[in-house]
Structure formats: C-alpha cells, structure tokens
Structure 1
C-alpha cells in the first residue's frame, strides 16, 4: 500500500515542485485561492494522484479518473479554486444539496459524486490534529468546519442536513506567504465517537468580500493518524501505515484565533534509501533517506530515529553538517528545527518525544540545494 506521506508533497503539506511545473503548463489560467491540504480535499488529492512528470493529470484512483473523464483536467490544475464570489457566508440552501463539494459550480460538479473510493485520510475520533488549508491567495476570514452526522450514507449525495458544525478558526497563522505552496494552519479536536467513513467539510468565509471557498475531505475514523490511501495506486480502503501528527491539544470554541506551531507537510513520491549505518549514543540512532523527487535547486529528505536501547527515551535530537550549502525550504514536519545549516539540529515534537525500546519515528523536510551524493553523518542524542 502506498500512502501520501510516503511520497514527496504540503503539507502538504505538498507535491511542491511538481505542482509548480504543472501550474506553469496548465492549459488555462488558475483562478483559485485554497482548499484543505490536511486532511486533503478531493480536488487536491486527485491532483496529487494524477500528476505526471510531463505535467499531464492522469489519475489512478477510479473516482478521480472518472471525475477527469467527466470534467477534464483543468479543475485539478485549479485544485485550489472551489469558490463562489457571491456566497457572502451563506450556507444551508445557498449551494443546493448534492452540489456541496463542488461549490455549486459546473466546473467542479464531478467532485460531488457519492462514492466510497475517493482518496481517504485515516483519523482517530476525539484526537487533535493540525489542519492545513492552502493560502494560494491570502484573505482575512473564518474557516467553518463541519462533519457528517452519525449514520450518514456515503453513497448518497451530500446534503446540508447531513452536516453538523464542530469547529472554527479565525485568521489563523500561515506557514509562509501566499502565491506558493504555503498554508494556513490551526489545531482542531475532532468529534468524539465517530466511526467509519465521513466527510470533513470546510467553508472559508472571507471577511473582506462576498467570496467564499469550499472543501470536502473524505475521511475514515478507524484509529488512523493522518495516513492517506487511494493515491498513487494504493487502495482507498487499506489500513493506515503512517502518521501525520496533530499538535498539542486545544479546546474548541465557536470562533478562535490560534497560535503558530511548527509547519508540517506530506508528500506524494516514493523514497530511496541513501544512508550509512545509523549512528548515535545512548541507544538513539538516526538513518537518512533522500526521497525520489528533486527539482531545480531543491530536494526532499527523511530521517528515521530509533531507540535501540532498553530504557525509554524521553526526547531526542539529530544533528548533521551540510557541506554543499544546502538549507531548508520551510520547517521540517514531525520535528523542530533547533540548529540552522550548515550545522543542523532537529529535535522531537511533543507527539514523538517518547520512544520505548525498539520504537522509531521519522521526520521529513523540503530542502534547498542539491541532495548530498553521500548522506551526511548523523548523530542522535537524548537527554
């Protein structure tokens, strides 16, 4: 099974290089602003599933393939463009039932299809996750979040009566400036007691105009931690195999602003190993991988940290030295950058601080420069 976080993206959280190339070769202008990256929206994950090296979009996921057959490739080149300029914050009844995921537009009508094989994010009910929402164009406003009610049938067209609100975030922080592959992010506590398939629906209401944006993310509450299936040949119903962590718990409120926390992203390309034997002290070891994706002046890497000792580790730090002028394109995901290049240091985040005997975790990053021909020597230490 392939999962999105094992391929190169976000963030998406975010097929960053390939996305740039595809936007440049898209057959029409992208008029768009943003949709959810984590958990990924239908248009975003279908884009990730379908993008090819030549810039064409040819999905392997059957739902995505049918959507392209119905509506063409342009809606996926404009994956961040599900919007209405006349919405003004209106919800129930403004967009007709059965057209909610496509924003009531003809362009995105294919993404309203009621089926169970859309790309899917695996989650745990009641857990706290960090949500990423593309800021392709930045606007002030509020993100209103809904989830389908218990007993909802995913084989019936989504109706407003199927949705219940559970969270909102007003003017959350951004991982970087607009116009690229950055995103808004905020901590969200998922509703408790949910099981099975659901749709997580977000309406982004601008406070400076009547324009609103709409996003449907297919999720399944099965004890997962952000794994994505149904992308790149993986099975939509497969079991989760990789975590995309949340952030420290926060309490829901009707409308809130949230504080910044380290950005994270996920990626859509397989990785290749390029590491010497792991090194470390006190039972903590680290292993380097360079992912199978690179673009002009960029590459992506992943480091796995393992507790090879008998005591439980309570915190870890991985260090290495770049010798070719490499840097970071944004913050690492699943780790905190505590030492800048060339003398790099990455420390655990809260969720992966504790590693029992034999346990391991990984962090990844988008990097600037050329990937080292020989993996750097890593040292791993724990307090």
Structure 2
C-alpha cells in the first residue's frame, strides 16, 4: 500500500471517526476516479446506491451484479481507489493485457467481459468536459485513450486496442460533483467513432510513483437518428411501506445508446399519472393515503426521447396510520457535511400523565444510516431506526421534553427526511 503525507492521513482518520463512515480505515487512502464519463466502479457504485436499502449497496445492473459476486462490494465503496502504488510510469510493463480495467486483485472483477456495463452516451467529434473526483488532490498528468475502430468488446481489453486522444497536466479542481470536489478539463472526442467503446484513463502522479486506472464504457453516436427504444424495466418492488410513504425499485432497462432516466406512473382507473422521473432505478413515494391500494409501473427513456414498453405493474396497500397520541416530535439536522449529518430530536409529552420509559421509531428511506448517538440508545434495522431512553432520559412529565442527538452517514441530497415518528407504538404529531 502506498504512503501518504501525515496531514492527509490524520484528516482521513478524523473524518472516519467523526462521520462514522462505512469504509474500512485503510480505504481512506484512496484518491480519485472519473465520474464523467463514469468509470465502471463509479457507475456500479451509483447503481448499488439506487438499488440499496438501509445504507447498503445492492447493484441491479447485470454486469455490476457479476462484479460484486466475484469481487465483493469493497471496490464499490472504494470506487476512487483503483491504483498501483509503485507504477512509476511503467503501466504497459507491469499491467498485462486483460487486466487494464482492474490491475490489482481488489479490482480484478472489473476486467470482466460483459455486455451490460453501464454506459455513457457521447457524440463523436464533440468537446466534452471530463470530470474526475478529487478525493485527495495531487499534481500529475492524465492520459485518455479510446479503443480503436474495430475493437472487439467480447474480448478482454489489450494495450494494442487503445489509441491516445487527450492529455492534461494539473487540471483545476473547479467542479462540484455528488461525491465532492472534482477536477475538470475539456477534451475533444475522436471523430468517426460509433457504437460501444472504452475510454481508458491513467492518472500519473508527479509527486509519487502512484498511478490510477479507469475504464469508462461509452456509446458513441455517429449522428444517425436513434429510433431504437429501450427494453422494459424489471418489475418494480415496494419496500418500506407506511401509511403515507413507500420506496419503489426495479431492474435497469437496456438500450443501444444508453438509458438516461425513468418515468414512474400510478394507475388510476383507466388512466395513468406520472408521479416521478428519477435518473436511477428507485424512487421514494410520498403523500399516499393510509389503508389504500396503489398500482405503479415504470417506463425507461433514452437520450433521443425513445420510451420503452411499460414494466409489469406492482400493487401494494399502505398500512393503517394510528391516531396521533400524546406526544410531539421535532426533528432537525443542524449540521451537514459531505457524506453525513448530525440529527437532533426533541420529544414532548403533550398528555396529562408522565411517560416512564420510551422507545421512538422512524424510517430513513434515502439510504441514511445512523452511526452513533447520545442521550439515547440507537439502533437501525434496514430503514427503521429505534431510539430508547437512557436511565437519565426515561421520564418525561406532562408538558416536559427530552432531547437526544446522533450522527449519520448519507449520500446525495440526504432526502427524504423522516415524516412519521411513533413513541411506544403510538404516532406522534410533528410541527
């Protein structure tokens, strides 16, 4: 494993201790990866987030599923750490053909030959802005290669398959992506490319012998009209169903040029209503009515506006929402940072009798995971969080309140926030 400056190492340790990160400690030593066009590890990480529950990663893309089955989930959490610590510019010497996309044992599964790796759609001959996550900034030079015309995607990637089309040294960190600051730079794409290709990137540090490797699967549009619709998405599944909310997820659709998003429809008698347009393969449903049956289906769309056939429908019934009890809950997130937040909850006894001993429960449906807390004993099973009183917080007199707090990990926008809280099995009112 490569060495790192003392200051950066301390920052990594502090971040993991404070934020309760899911990654093992040693993974904090990784440094960056391409987010556009998305490298395989980043694309599968996003796919895993979309399909996951309770903070876990559960990819649905067939290639990503195969990679996890072979190499586990560590490369997803550590999608920015595909590196060789002592490369010293000897890439072709130390990386054999067939191992370019994952030159280490940890990332070997990302060398798999598979037709379903997530792709980015590009227009041949145009100028794009390449985006590269700056997990830990370092000076150096980036080299972008593309597979040659006539490359066979059914064979492992070889050095002889590649041709250089772009080089940049010390690009600025002037972008802000969903996973943090990003290097960005402009690159002229090769002309005449069409169909499926790989863009291969090498980041060669100038302050150490370390180098990073990224395989980004792309589909070049040659300019001909795209009139091929995506395949239908998989049957949606409903999870985390409450009286007013639910989470839908489905298997990804496929397309010759790449799927860019989905449309979620609610069936209403003989008609259907568009209720969500997510980019990924899941969405949160809110505003539902208790004890009511709902039916939903999903349609995929590509960049040309072609829409797939509808997925099979899913039907579920929301739960009964109990009447509001003698309690009120105020929820807030006073501190937020990239990858996490601090939560505060105040429970107020609005009844006329003292509450002696309490258990508060709520659901996080956006992948949030509680890591540690104070003034309450906290645990999480799937999306459901349970907070139980400590000895000194167990009594709440009429019109009295108790407050507790916690840290949690999160991704993206940290939405949706919880909207329903039950105290000892009784629904509480909220401000």
Per the TM superposition, whether the score is higher than 0.5 is yes
Which residue among 21, 25, 40 is the counterpart of 1:24? 21
The answer for the alignment partner of 1:65 in structure 2 is: 65
- Report the Cα distance in structure 2 between the residues aligned to 1:34 and 1:23, rounded to whole angstroms: 20
The answer for the alignment partner of 1:128 in structure 2 is: 127
Deviation at 1:22, TM superposition (A): 10
Change (3 A) 1:232 1:171: farther
- Report the Cα distance in structure 2 between the residues aligned to 1:108 and 1:175, rounded to whole angstroms: 28
CA contact (8 A) 1:298 1:368 kept: no
The answer for the alignment partner of 2:48 in structure 1 is: 50
What SS does the aligned partner of 1:25 have? coil
Count residues with an aligned counterpart: 240
TM-score, length-scaled by structure 1: 0.55
Change (3 A) 1:65 1:149: same
The answer for the alignment partner of 1:282 in structure 2 is: none
Change (3 A) 1:177 1:193: closer
Could you give the per-residue CA deviations for residues 189-217 of structure 1, whole angstroms, max 9, x where no partner exists? 10000011110000000011100000000
Instruction: Name structure 2 gaps, 5 residues minimum.
Output: 1-17, 224-229, 234-248, 262-277, 287-331, 338-411, 420-431
- Report the Cα distance in structure 2 between the residues aligned to 1:273 and 1:65, rounded to whole angstroms: 26
What SS does the aligned partner of 2:42 have? helix
CA contact (8 A) 1:140 1:171 kept: yes
CA contact (8 A) 1:175 1:185 kept: yes
Change (3 A) 1:126 1:23: farther
Deviation at 1:82, TM superposition (A): 0.3
CA contact (8 A) 2:42 2:80 kept: yes
TM-score, length-scaled by structure 2: 0.49
Deviation at 1:89, TM superposition (A): 1.7
Aligned residues: CA RMSD: 3.8
Select the structure with the greater relative contact order (CA < 8 A; seq sep ≥ 6).
1
CA contact (8 A) 2:84 2:212 kept: yes
The answer for the alignment partner of 1:78 in structure 2 is: 78
Matches within 5 A, 1:159-198: 159-175=158-174, 181-198=180-197
- Report the Cα distance in structure 2 between the residues aligned to 1:153 and 1:298, rounded to whole angstroms: 46
Instruction: Name structure 1 gaps, 5 residues minimum.
Output: 1-20, 244-265, 275-294, 300-365, 374-383
What SS does the aligned partner of 1:175 have? strand
Deviation at 1:181, TM superposition (A): 1.3
- Report the Cα distance in structure 2 between the residues aligned to 1:39 and 1:112, rounded to whole angstroms: 17
Which residue among 251, 267, 284 is the counterpart of 1:233? 251
Which one has a bigger Cα radius of gyration? 2
Higher strand share: 2
Change (3 A) 1:173 1:152: same
Change (3 A) 1:108 1:242: closer
- Report the Cα distance in structure 1 between the residues aligned to 2:204 and 2:280, rounded to whole angstroms: 29
- Report the Cα distance in structure 2 between the residues aligned to 1:201 and 1:35, rounded to whole angstroms: 12
Matches within 5 A, 1:1-383: 24-27=21-24, 29-30=26-27, 31-51=29-49, 52-102=52-102, 104-175=103-174, 181-222=180-221, 233-240=251-258, 242=260, 268=280
CA contact (8 A) 2:40 2:117 kept: yes
- Report the Cα distance in structure 1 between the residues aligned to 2:161 and 2:53, rounded to whole angstroms: 39
- Report the Cα distance in structure 1 between the residues aligned to 2:282 and 2:61, rounded to whole angstroms: 17
CA contact (8 A) 2:98 2:157 kept: yes
